[in-house]
């Protein structure tokens, strides 16, 4: 377990083929905003979204497993070209089994970022478990890596950069931006 982006488990990340994300508290800051009609609004971080797109460029599939149901989540998934979306999952370990079957990717080759105890069962089975800095204490004590950033505030992007480094694809993906890992805060 680490609280620093510098201690990312790069060796484990070399074998990851799919990143699974929770929504509330990971893709968002965990706030649920409802208008007077009961329609739900969510705020997503653009840099996290770009991190997802960078992972897709190196062939990593993206999946969402969330306990709630929201058309906003499906719209964001469509916008980002996310491959697999499972909503209203009260048993996320069962949802992981569905993802394994649908994608043909074993849990051992999946990374999952979650922030609450409902996320722990599938995270235990994944090859790499990740959490935003503001995940609940029980989660922080059981993951391979903790981002320096909070949910909905760059945690996904930081993990994406580390996974790209781990898979030896930095130059391929970041060439057009003319940046190094050190430019993004990673040790050379």
Please tell me the distance from the alpha carbon of residue 74 to that of residue 146, in angstroms, as a whole number: 26
- Give the residue extent of every domain in the chain: 5-184
pLDDT, position 3: 38
Please tell me the distance from the alpha carbon of residue 103 to that of residue 125, in angstroms, as a whole number: 16
Please tell me the distance from the alpha carbon of residue 172 to that of residue 163, in angstroms, as a whole number: 13
pLDDT, position 4: 47
pLDDT, position 188: 55
How long a stretch of residues is the chain? 188
For the CA atoms of 96, 119, 90, 109, what is the dihedral angle to 10 degrees? 0
- The rounded mean pLDDT for the chain is 94
Instruction: Give the homologous superfamily in CATH for domain 5-184.
Output: HAD superfamily/HAD-like (3.40.50.1000)
| 113 close to 162: Cβ distance less than 8 angstroms | no
pLDDT, position 6: 62
pLDDT, position 187: 78
The residues of the chain scoring below 70 in pLDDT are 1-6, 188
pLDDT, position 1: 38
> Closest Cα to residue 20, out of 116, 111, 137?
111
pLDDT digits (tens, 9 = 90+) for 91-146: 999 999 999 999 999 999 999 999 999 999 999 999 999 999 999 999 999 999 99
């Amino acid at each position: 377990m680490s609280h620093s982006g510098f201690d990312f488990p790069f060796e484990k990340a070399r074998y990851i083929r799919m990143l699974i994300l929770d929504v509330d508290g990971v893709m968002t800051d965990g706030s649920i905003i409802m208008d007077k009609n009961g329609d739900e609004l969510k705020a997503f971080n653009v840099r996290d979204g770009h991190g997802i797109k960078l992972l897709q460029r190196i062939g990593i599939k993206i999946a969402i497993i969330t306990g709630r149901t929201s058309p906003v989540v499906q719209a964001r998934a469509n916008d980002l070209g996310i491959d697999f979306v499972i909503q209203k999952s009260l048993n996320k370990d069962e949802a992981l089994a569905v993802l394994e079957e649908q994608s043909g990717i074993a849990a051992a080759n999946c990374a999952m970022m979650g922030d609450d105890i409902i996320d722990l069962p599938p995270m235990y089975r994944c090859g790499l478990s990740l959490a935003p800095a503001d995940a609940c204490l029980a989660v922080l004590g059981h993951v391979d890596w903790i981002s320096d950033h909070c949910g909905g505030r760059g945690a996904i992007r930081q993990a994406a950069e580390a996974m790209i480094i781990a898979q030896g694809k930095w130059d391929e993906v970041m060439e057009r931006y003319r940046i190094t890992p050190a430019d993004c805060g990673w040790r050379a």
